[in-house]
Structure 1
Amino acid sequence: MNKMLLTILLTIHSVAEQGKPLKASWFTLLHIKYEERYLNDIKGYMLFPKFPQNVKNLDGKLVEITGFVIPVDKTGASLALSANPYASCYFCGGGSPASIITVKLKKRNTGYDIDDYKKFRGKLRLNATDINEFYYVLELSEEVN
C-alpha cells in the first residue's frame, strides 16, 4: 500500500473515531463496478454493486452528503437523495443506480419538495444484496444547515 493511501485511510479512521462526519462525495459513490446476476425470484438479471475499498471504508461511518431531494414516502419517514435533479435522476433520466441514496430520517418530515438541494448527516450502510433497496442507505439521518 502506498504511503499517501495509507495516510488517507488513517485520517478517515481517525476522523470517524472522533464522531465527526466524513464528507461523502457523489464522485466517490458513483465510481463503482457492477456484476450482473440472474435472480430466480424475478426471472431476470439485475445489476449488483461491487464496491471498491474506498467506498467500503465509508460503510457504517457517520457521513454528510448533499443532493437533490426526491420525496418518495408520504409519511415523511424517508426520502431519496439524488446526485442529479429530478429530470435527470435515476428514475427518469441518465443517472446510474449508484446516484441515489435512501435517507431514513430520525424525525419524520413531509416538508420537502422535489429538487430541494439539501445536506444530510447519518450512518451510511452499503447494500449489495437487497434488490428492494438502493445501493446506499443513510440511516438515522438529519438535515444539516
Structure 2
Amino acid sequence: MKNNFFYLFVFLLSTNAIGQVDLTWKDLADIEYTEKYFRDYDANFLYPKFSKEMSDLVGKQVSLSGYFLDISPNGDLIVLSKNPLSSCFFCGNGGPETAVEIVFKSDQDFKTDDIVLITGILKLNKDDIEHFNYILTDCYGILLK
C-alpha cells in the first residue's frame, strides 16, 4: 500500500512539472509596442503586442526568477523584476517587459531585492494601464538567494 502512495506522489509531481513552463526575461522581451492615446489620462502609453509564444501560455502555470520588489507602502503592488530596485524599470533601466506584477495566494516573507523563483498563472494585459503587461496570479515563491 505504501508503494502505491509513493507512485501516486511521483506521478503527481511529474505531471505538475510537465505542465509548468520555465520562462526567462528574454522570453518576456519578445514583445512589440506602439503608442496609444488614453483620453482619461490625456497621455500616450506603450500598447503591447505579445508574441504568439507568450499568448499561447495564457492561463498556464509558469515560473520566472528575479528580484522581489514590494513597491507600495501597504503591500498592494508586488513586482518581480529583472533588475534590483536601484536599477529597475521605474528608474529608467529597461522597459515594461522587465517587470511582472505578482499576486500571491498567501502572504510571503520576502524582502525587497531578495532573489526569488515565482510560479503562477500567466495573464497578459494590454488594456488596463493601472496594471503591468505581464501578470502572474495564484503565485507562490521560493527564496533563491
Bin for the TM-score computed over the shorter chain? 0.7 to 0.9
Inter-CA distance 84–62: structure 2 relative to 1 (3 Å threshold): same
Counterparts of 2:69 and 2:115, CA distance in 1? 10
Query: How does 1:65-144 map onto structure 2 within 5 Å?
Result: 65-74=64-73, 76=75, 79-109=78-108, 111-144=109-142
Find the counterpart in structure 1 of residue 4 from structure 2: none
The total of aligned residue pairs comes to 130
Structure 1 spans left out of the alignment, 5+ residues: 1-14
Counterparts of 1:80 and 1:46, CA distance in 2? 20
Alpha-carbon RMSD across the aligned residues, in angstroms, is 2.2
- CA-CA distance at 1:37 after TM superposition: 0.7
Find the counterpart in structure 1 of residue 59 from structure 2: 60
Q: TM-score, normalised to structure 1's length? A: 0.81
Counterparts of 1:16 and 1:51, CA distance in 2? 27
Return the letter of the residue paired with 1:27: K
Give the number of the structure whose residues are more often helix, by fraction: 2
Structure 2 spans left out of the alignment, 5+ residues: 1-13
- CA-CA distance at 1:48 after TM superposition: 0.9
- CA-CA distance at 1:75 after TM superposition: 5.1
Moved over 2 A (4+): 15-20, 72-78
Query: How does 1:28-47 map onto structure 2 within 5 Å?
Result: 28-47=27-46
1:65 partner SS: strand
1:139 partner SS: strand
